[in-house]
Amino acid sequence: MATLVFATNNPNKIREIRAQLGEQYDFRSLADIGCFEEIPETTPTLKGNALQKARHVFDGYGHDCFSEDTGLEVEALAGAPGVITAHYAGPERDAQANMDKVLAELGDASNRKAQFRTVICLIEQGTTHFFEGICPGQITLEKTGDSGFGYDPIFIPEGAARTFAEMSGSEKLQYSHRARAMAKLIAYLQKH
């Protein structure tokens, strides 16, 4: 069974990824390998941040690993919050403040198109691979639902009538940007 480290300690992301990977991999989080430091995300792109995190784990801990960076890109806000999605309202990573800021900036704008975009970077035996997943949708007028995390209460994926926060975990996986990127990663791992 292959050991694969996911460069995160976010319990929500770990739960989502574990559900998708199943039992065929010895899946580990950063905590599982003793990595508790804050890994820098200082590049101006999702791809660059994903690479930076994966490289940190591979170089510093010697494990094949994958990392991801995700951005919410709102059309009427010129693609913001984008690469600073987690810190949009400040360095605290406050999901409520982040959502409030997006809703305030959009106001009653009629164009509420948005997308979540995830870039996964896999470093396997020193070789780097990238996988991308996109979930188009729209921003609601107000927060709805209490499941999920991050911006889930204000995002309705295309083809759905409810926010991510109103869906079960398995329902969310049907639309999720992260799940789409993970499906590409899993297909690659199964093929190689």
Name the residues annotated as catalytic.
69
- Amino acid, res. 82: G
Strands 113-124 and 127-139: antiparallel
DSSP 81-137: EETTGGGTT-TT--HHHHHHHHHHHHTT-S--EEEEEEEEEEEETTEEEEEEEEEEE
Alpha-carbon distance of 118 to 46, in angstroms, equals 7
Contact 145, 153 (CB under 8 A): yes
Determine how many CB atoms are found less than 10 A away from the CB of residue 155: 28
CB 107 within 8 A of CB 51: no
The 8-class DSSP code of residue 36 comes to -
* Largest pairwise CA distance in the chain: 52
Query: Distance (Å, rounded) from C-alpha 9 to C-alpha 30?
Result: 6
